[in-house]
Structure 1
Amino acid sequence: MNPSHLFGLVIIAAPLVMLAILGISAVLLKRPLTETAIGRIVQIGIITGFLASLGMLAYMLVTGTRHVPLYLGDWVHVHSGFGSDYHFSIKFLFDRLSIPFVILTFVICGTVGAFANRYMHREPGFGRFFFLYAMFVAGMIITATSGTIETLFTGWELVGLSSALLVAFFHERVMPCRNGLRVWTVYRFADAALLLASVVLHHLHGHGDFDQFLSELPWPAGVTALPPNWILLVGGLLLIAAAGKSALLPFSGWLPRAMEGPTPSSAVFYGALSVHLGAFLLLRMSPLLDQSPLLCVLIVLLGLLTAAFGAFAGRVQTDVKSALSFAALTQVGLIVAEIGVGLRYIALIHIIGHACLRTLQFIRAPSMLYDLRNIENALGQRLAAEHSEAAPTKAPAWVYRLALERGYMDALLDACIAGPFVRFFSACQALETRWTKWLAGPDAGAPSCPTSNAPLEDLL
C-alpha cells in the first residue's frame, strides 16, 4: 500500500474508531467507561491522528506531492439510462488546504480535550460530553479532508449535530435547550443550502467530485467546469451555507447564544474550529469563486459588514464569553473578506493564528476574572477599561440600544428563520398526531405523543 494512502486511512479512521468505542460502550454495552478510560481513549485517538497527519505532511514535502486523493468506493452508483450516471463517492483529498486544517484540528482538539478532562471532572454528563466531542472531531476531519461534496456534507452534519447538542448540554435548564434549538435552526438552514448546491452539482455533472468540477490542479489553482450561468447559483448557495455555519450576517444572532455550552466546547467550536468551517468551504470552492466577480464582491461586502457588526456589538458585552464570541466574529468576517479579494494563503494563515489565540483565550476565561479581581484588590482601585479614552462619551442612546440588542439579529432570526422553521415542524407534529389518532381508531386510548405544540414553540 502506498504510504500516503496508509497515512490517509489512519487520519480518517482514528477519530471514527474513537467515536465508535465511546458510543458502543455507552449505548450498546450499557457499561459507561470510567473518566480515566475515556480520557485515555480520546488521547490515543487524537495523538494517533496527529502523528499520521505529520507523516502525510512529511511524505508530501519529501516527494514534492501537492495533491493526494484517497478513493474508497461509491456510496451509490445509479445508471440513469439517459447516457449519464450518478455517483456518490467516498473520497478524501489531502493537499495544501486540508493538511494544515487537519493538523490544526488535532492540535486544538488535543489541547481542549486535555483541559476538558479536568474541567468536566465528576460532571454528571462527562461521558456524554466526550462522546459528542469525539463526534465533533470526526466531523471536522471528514469535512477538512473531503474530496466530494457529499463526503463534505457528511462531516458538516456531524459537526452541526454535535455543536447543537453541546450547546444544550445542561438540559436541566431552559435556556441551554432554547439556545440549542436556535443554533440547530440556523444550521438546518445552512445545511439546506449546501444540500441544494450538491443537488445542482449532481444534476450538472452526475457527481460531486472536487477533482472533476474544480480540476485536479493543486489548491488554490483550478478552473471550474461549471457552465457560466450556473456558477452564480451554486456559489450563492455555498455562500449561504458558509454564512450560516460561520455566523456571518444575517445569521450572527446565534453565536453569543451558543456560549451556554461548557467552556471547553465553546473554545473548540465557536472560538477555534467550527466557526471557521464556512471560511474553509469558501476556500475549498475558491476556483469557482474566481469565475464570478459579482460573487467575490458579495463575499467581501458580507465579510466587512460582519466584522463591523462584531466590533460594534462586542463593545457593550458584559460577560467574557460573549465578548470573545463577538471578537471571533470580527476576525471571521475579515477572513471571509480576504477570501473574497483572492488572498487565499493569507486567509488560511489567519484562520490558524486566530484559532490558536481564541482557544487560549476561551480556556483562560474562567480564571482570568479571578486574577483580575486579585489585581484590583491589590491596587485598591478598578482597572481602566480597554480603549476607554477612545470610546464616545455622548453617543446617541439609540446607538447603545442597537449594540445592546446586537443589531436586532435575534429578532430577525425569529421572524425569518427560527419562527417559520418551528411553525412548520409544529404543524407536522400536529398532522402526525391526528394521523396517529385516525389510525388508532375511535376506541383507542390517548396517544402517547403530546397533542399540544406549545412546548416546541415555547423554546423560541
Structure 2
Amino acid sequence: MLSDVLLGRLAALAVLSPAAAFAALGAYLLLLRTPSERVVSRAVLSALSASLAASLAIWGSAVAAPRAFLQVELGHWFATGSYAFEVVLLVDRLSATMMVLVSLIALTVGRFSVAYLHREPGFARFFLLLALFSTGMLALVSAGTVDLLFAGWELVGATSVLLVAFFHERAAPPRAAVRVYITYRLCDIGLLGGAVLMHDLARSSQWGEVFGGAPWPGAAAPLGPGAATALALCLFLAAMGKSAQFPLGSWLPRAMEGPTPSSALFYGAISVHAGVYLMLRVAPLLQRSPAASAVIACVGAATAVYGTMVGRVQADVKNALAHATMTQVGLMFVEIGLGLYRLALVHLFAHACLRCLQMLRAPSALRDAQEIRAAHAGEPLPTLGLAARVLPAALVRRAYWLALDRFHLEALQERLVAAPLMRLGRLLDGIERRWVAALSGWPERASGDPGEQDAPGAEGRAMAFDPPASDTKGART
C-alpha cells in the first residue's frame, strides 16, 4: 500500500496533468500560432495518460486499504475575512474509482478524436476543451470540499456548452447550447444553495468533517433530519439538471448537435453521471433523510419510464442513445434512493463504458442496422411487447403519439416556466426604468421608459453621431 504522501502527490498529478496541457496549449494559441494536429494531440493525450497512470495507482491502493480515506490538503486558493477557499483532495474508494473512469474514458475519446476530427478547423479547440473538461471532472470527483466540487462542476458545464456549439457556423448547435446553458444555470442554484447551507449548518465545507470522516458510503451524517433533507434536496436539484432527470432532461437530445466524440464523452459516459456521483458522495445525508431518498427514487423512476417510452420511437440513433442514457441514469437514482449505493456505483461504471462505445459507433450504427435487416429479409416481423398485447389498442396508439412528441415536455416548460419568467422580467424591467426616471428627473415616454433624447448630454451625443451636412443634404434631396 502506498504512503499517504505519495498518494497525495499522485492525486495532485492526476488532476493537474490535463490542467498543465490546457495552460500550455492555450498560451501557445494566444501568443504564437496554431500548432500542428500532432503536437496538439500528443500534448493532451500524454497528459491524460499520466492522469490515468496516477489514477490506477490510487485506485489500487484505495481498494487494498481496509479503511481508505485520505484528505490531501494543497493549501488555500484565496482567503477573505474568516473564510478561506481550501484546495483539498479526497482519496477514497468512490473518488479513486471515478478518477480511473474519467481518465480512461477521456483518453479513449481523445485517441478516437485524432482520426475523427482530422483536418477539422476546430481540431485544436476541441482538444483544448477536452483538457479543460478533464481537469474540471477530475477536480469534481476528487474534491474534498463542496467549494472545489462547485468549481469543477462549473468547468464541466462550461466545456459542455462550448462543445455543444462546436459547429457554430450552423444555427442549430448554438441554439441547443443556449438551452443547455439555461438549464445548467437554473439547476446550479441548488448546488450553490447547498454549499451555503453546508457552511451554515455544519460550519465546514469539507466532506470529511461534515460526514464524520468514515470510509464511503459511511454512516449517517451528524445533522438533524430537517437540515439533512434541505441540504440533500438542494444538491439533488443540481444533480437533476446535470444528469437530465425528468422533467428537466429535454436538453439532452439537443446536446447531440456537438461532435460524436463529445457526445460520447459528456452525454454517454462522464458528464451525465456527475449528478449520480454527487448523490453517491452525499450518501450519509440520504441515510439521515428518508424523505430525500424517496424523492430521488421517485424522480429516477419517472425518468426511467419517460426515457424508455420516448427512446423506443426515435428514428435518430443519437437521440435514441440519449434517451437510453436517460433511462439508465434514472435507474441509478432509483438505486441510490433505495440505499443501494455500491450497486449504483457498479452500474455507473459499467453503463459509462458501454454507452461510450455505443456513442462512438453511432455513425456506423445505421449501416449495421441495414445489414441486419437485409439478412432477415422476408422473415415475419417480431411480435409486439407485453404492454401492446395487454393494454387497449387506443391507449397504445395514444402513448405512441405522446412519445413521438416527447409528451409535449418542451412546450409545457416554455408555457409554464419560460413565459412567466419572461413576463416577470419585463415587469421588473419596467419598474426599474420608472424608478430610474423618477430619481434622475428624466421625463418618461408614453411606454414608461425614460426618453433617452431628453437625458442630460443626449443632445451632444446626437450631434456627435449626426452625418456631415453635405451627406445630409444629399440624402434629403
Deviations 1:174-219 (A, max 9, x none): 1111111111111001211100111111222343111111111111
Cα RMSD of the aligned pairs, angstroms, is: 2.9
In structure 2, the residue matched to 1:51 is 53
Aligned pairs (5 A) from 1:386-405: 388=384, 392=388, 394-396=393-395, 397-405=397-405
The one-letter amino acid paired with 2:21 is M
The alignment status of 1:329 with 2:308, answered yes or no, reads no
Aligned length: 441
Matched residue, 1:186: 183
Query: Which residue matches 1:453?
Result: none
Paired position in structure 2 for 1:443: 460
Q: Secondary structure at the match of 2:218?
A: coil
1:21 to 24, 36, 61: 24
Q: 1:186·1:251 contact (CA, 8 Å) conserved in 2? A: yes
Question: Which has the larger displacement, 232-241 or 199-208?
Answer: 199-208
Partner of 1:103: 100
User: Separation in 2 of the partners of 1:22 and 1:446?
Assistant: 48
Q: Matches of residues 6-405 of structure 1 in structure 2 within 5 Å? A: 6-26=9-29, 28-61=30-63, 64=66, 66-79=68-81, 85-377=82-374, 388=384, 392=388, 394-396=393-395, 397-405=397-405
Point out which structure has higher relative CO (alpha carbons under 8 A, 6+ apart).
1
Q: 1:117 to 1:200 in 2, by over 3 A?
A: same
Report the AA paired with residue 41 of structure 1.
A
Give distance in 1, aligned partners of 2:398 and 2:249.
20
Seen in structure 2, the aligned counterparts of structure 1 residues 439 and 134 have a Cα distance that, compared at 3 Å, is farther
Q: Distance in 2 between matches of 1:306 and 1:447?
A: 59
**Contact 1:88 1:208 (8 Å CA) reproduced:** no
Supply the distance in 2 between the matched residues of 1:305 and 1:223 (Cα, whole angstroms): 27
The amino acid across from 1:58 in the alignment is G
The change in CA–CA distance for 1:150 and 1:404 in structure 2 (over 3 A counts) is same
Q: Offset of 1:392 from its aligned partner? A: 2.8
- Cα distance, 1:439 vs. partner? 8.9
Structure 2 unpaired stretches of 5+? 437-448, 466-477
CA contact (8 A) 1:185 1:417 kept: no
Distance 1:442 1:50, change over 3 A: farther
Q: Conserved in 2, the CA contact under 8 Å of 1:87 and 1:207? A: no
Deviation for aligned residue 1:58? 3.0
CA distance change for structure 1 residues 434 and 100 in 2, over 3 Å: closer, same or farther? farther
Q: CA deviation at 1:63?
A: 5.3
TM-score with structure 1 length normalisation? Answer: 0.88
Cα distance in 1, alignment partners of residues 143 and 424 from structure 2: 32
Alignment-mate amino acid for residue 158 of structure 1: L
1:444 Cα deviation (Å)?
Answer: 2.9
Structure with bigger gyration radius: 2
SS at match of 1:178: helix
Q: Distance in 1 between matches of 2:74 and 2:129?
A: 26
Q: State the identity as a percent.
A: 40
Letter in 1 for 2:171: V
Q: Which runs of 5+ in 1 are unaligned?
A: 80-84, 449-460
Distance 2:258 2:404 in 1: 22
1:92, 1:435 → 2: CA distance?
55
Q: 1:5 aligns with which of 8, 12, 15?
A: 8
Residue deviations 1:346-370, cap 9 Å, x none?
Answer: 0000000000110111111111212
